[in-house]
Amino acid sequence: MATAAGAAAQMACGPDRDENLARAEVPVREAAGQGAQVTLIQELFETP
């Protein structure tokens, strides 16, 4: 059975979807740099 490293990220979100996506990129890339293959971001991050 294969294994995968995971991470979870929590961040402040606003009403601008594109800004939220750009903000989400930072913790996702940070987690990937630390070995995460899957990163979960909070639910409803596309809207406040």
Q: Is the pLDDT of residue 48 over 70?
A: no
* Res 37: pLDDT: 96
Predicted confidence (pLDDT) per residue in 9-39, tens digit: 988 888 888 998 899 999 999 999 999 999 9
- The set of residues, in sequence order, having a beta carbon less than 8 Å from that of 30 and lying 6+ positions away, is none
Q: Give the span between the Cα atoms of 43 and 48, in whole angstroms.
A: 10
Q: Is the pLDDT of residue 6 over 90?
A: yes
Q: Is the pLDDT of residue 5 over 90?
A: yes
Residue 23 burial (CB < 10 Å; 0-12/13-18/19+)?
A: middle
